[in-house]
Structure 1
Amino acid sequence: MIAAIMLTVRDLAKSYRTSEEQLAVLRGVDLTLAAGESVALTGESGSGKSTLLHLIAGLDKADAGEIWLDGTQVSGLSDSARAAVRRDRLGLVFQQFNLIPSLQVGDNLAFQARIAGRYDAAWQDELIARLGLAALLDRYPEQLSGGQQQRVAIGRALAIKPLLLLADEPTGNLDEATADDVLSLARDLVARTGCGFLMVTHSERLAATLDRQVHLHAGRIT
């Protein structure tokens, strides 16, 4: 059975104005991602990887082109509507863990799911068990190691059972062994939920562990 296409990016373009010139970052990007598929987005620094991820997440608006998420044209939505899609249907994981310092691990894990009205206690318990966080629920982020914080960030992103998990260099602050462990857990949980998984990484080794790799060069998929 062929999986449904979850994400479609068509002819996406984005430029930024510098003090000296108009800098074209994306120059007509096309990309598709199926439900349950994991894709690594690679490319040299400045090739537009993070920009593409931010546009898909609705954190910025493209100059031209289309982004479709499960039949919804995200690129055509207002700022508030894109924020609602990001809250309710997307899981975001970044190199900086972005946990809420004043909340304990258990509340950090549940935060997005609760504000999205998608909290599922049984799924929360499964995430806690799979991520090895049961003994850490009463701790605050500052009391955790980098690997533990990234596990919490992944759990928070997956707690809403998103359509799409977007990760921007999620293992960049971790040592190799911890990075392998965290990414393995992310892949397993993505497979468990059937969501799509798009990860920006500079590591060819980690990229090779995903279903497919796409390379971004000079603002285009090559």
Structure 2
Amino acid sequence: MTSGNPIVLSVSGLTKSYRTAGEQVAVLRGVNLAVASGEGVALTGESGSGKSTLLHLIAGLDAADGGEIVLAGTPISGLGDAGRAELRRDRLGLVFQQFNLIPSLTVEDNLAFQSRIAGRHDAAWHGELVARLGLGQLLKRYPEQLSGGQQQRVAIGRALAAKPLLLLADEPTGNLDEATADEVLALARDLVTRTGCGFLMVTHSARLAATLDRQVTLHAGLIA
């Protein structure tokens, strides 16, 4: 853990089961995890180990069966749907493998979307993101006119535009070639450091995981 930095995410005793083919299957069996401000943590593990489930619980996209998730002092488990939506809007940045850009909006409007609905649009920071992500010539284009790497840069910029407390990324470079993946992740790491937010990334790539500050492995429903 990053020495001296405050803990932005604390997960303790987290459990989650799903009913499949008439039986309960325990996916998470008591996960404990902490991420500090400014720290990049790679979450690895075999397919089906529950990595995406854990990220979805932290993001408030699903509810845990037991345990506690605390984001910057706010327990997520006690929040209703509206409270979790507000948390995602105001305190979290989310980046997924599928980019999830809004097709009807230009690059510029996609970039500003979350910061505007959060009421924290910062024109100077927006301009810095445009420059750092190399999007200056693409602002009037639409997502369908971009390459995969360009779309992922926009997705990362959108997630960081509101200066979240925590950036969650689920296989964010899974659809990119190796060189583009390296470039996009390097940009993400640099911007995370610039904002001081925590960064938790699910990845199957040991090579990419090794570029972050710390690696943790999810195995048999527990952090190994």
Tell me if TM exceeds 0.5.
yes
The aligned residue for residue 177 of structure 1 is 179
Distance 1:50 1:208 in 2: 19
Distance 2:72 2:204 in 1: 28
SS of aligned partner of 2:211: coil
After alignment, is 43-52 or 72-81 more displaced?
Answer: 72-81
Distance 1:147 1:211 in 2: 23
Q: RMSD in angstroms over aligned alpha carbons?
A: 0.6
SS of aligned partner of 1:109: helix
Query: Of residues 45, 48, 51 in structure 2, which corresponds to 1:46?
Result: 48
Query: Of residues 180, 183, 204 in structure 1, which corresponds to 2:206?
Result: 204
Asked if residue 19 in structure 1 is aligned to residue 30 in structure 2, the reply is no
Q: CA deviation at 1:20?
A: 2.6
Query: Of residues 107, 110, 113 in structure 2, which corresponds to 1:111?
Result: 113
Aligned length: 222
> Could you tell me the TM-score, scaled by structure 1's length?
0.99
Give the aligned residue type for 1:113.
Answer: S
Asked if residue 91 in structure 1 is aligned to residue 115 in structure 2, the reply is no
Distance 1:140 1:47 in 2: 36
Query: Of residues 128, 133, 150 in structure 1, which corresponds to 2:135?
Result: 133
Q: CA deviation at 1:147?
A: 0.1
Distance 1:170 1:60 in 2: 20
> Could you tell me the TM-score, scaled by structure 2's length?
0.98
Give the aligned residue type for 1:95.
Answer: Q
SS of aligned partner of 1:162: coil
Distance 1:197 1:90 in 2: 10
Distance 1:173 1:216 in 2: 22
Unaligned runs of 5+ in 1: none
The aligned residue for residue 213 of structure 1 is 215
Q: CA deviation at 1:19?
A: 2.2
Cα deviations by residue, 1:48-96 (Å, 9 ceiling, x for unpaired): 0000000000000000000000000012111110110001110000000
